[in-house]
Amino acid sequence: MADEKLLTATEAAQILGVSRARVSLLAKQGRLGKQIAGRYNVFTHAELDAYKAQAPQNKGGKGKKLPAGTPRPAIPA
């Protein structure tokens, strides 16, 4: 494991499919394992795999999909 390549937050973000800021936030919250290299967070593939295994899968979008033909609610003025 000592020979495993360390990944930057940018590389980790690309692997996870999220923004670099999100990776930094997850690391700060302790939800994503990290190591410190100088003043930077670095990550291993094992840490990213562990996060992906326990993280809820985001399906994207802003809310629940409505069935076809369902009228959209009115937007209050």
Q: Give domain limits for the chain.
A: 9-54
Average pLDDT in the 25-52 region? Answer: 88
Confidence class for position 77, pLDDT limits 50, 70, 90: low
The tally of CA atoms less than 13 A away on the side-chain side of residue 36 is 3
User: What is the rounded distance in angstroms from the CA atom of residue 44 to the CA atom of residue 77?
Assistant: 50
| The token pair that represents 30 in the structure block | 């302790």
Q: What is the pLDDT of residue 37?
A: 83
**Between 54 and 64, residue with greater pLDDT:** 54
The model's confidence at residue 11, banded by pLDDT at 50, 70 and 90, is very high
12-16, 20-24, 38-42: lowest mean pLDDT where?
38-42
**In the predicted model, is pLDDT for residue 21 greater than 90?**
yes
Q: What are phi and psi of 44, to 5 degrees?
A: -110, 160
